Amino acid sequence: MAATNKLSVILPLLVIAATLVALQPENVAGKVCPQLCLGAEYMTCGSSDERLNPSCNCCLAPQGCTLYFSDGTSQYCA
């Protein structure tokens, strides 16, 4: 009986806590970044033609940069 009373108090508190965590602004509007490295050879940013060390993917690269790959393809990071 005492275990049931404890559970009836703890369970609603856990539900409320989980709801509050889920509604945090950084959790709601967060950016989802894949944990995948595309293996770019280099990247350029803006109007500069300077070859920079590449980021793993566009999610991690600054906006406006382009990733260049060894097969001649590229990916613009909007």
Ranges of the chain whose pLDDT falls below 50:
28
What fold is seen in the domain 33-78? Wheat Germ Agglutinin (Isolectin 2); domain 1 (3.30.60)
Q: What is the pLDDT of residue 34?
A: 83
Q: What is the pLDDT of residue 29?
A: 58
Q: Where are the domains of the chain?
A: 1-30, 33-78
Q: What is the pLDDT of residue 58?
A: 94
Q: What is the pLDDT of residue 71?
A: 97
pLDDT above 70 covers what percent of the chain?
76
For the chain, what is the radius of gyration of the CA atoms? 23
Q: What is the pLDDT of residue 6?
A: 76
> Which letter, b or e, does each residue of 48-69 get, where b requires 16 or more Cβ atoms within 10 Å of its Cβ?
eeeeeebbbbbeebeeebbbbe
Q: What is the pLDDT of residue 9?
A: 75
What is the number of other CB atoms lying within 10 angstroms of the CB of residue 24? 10
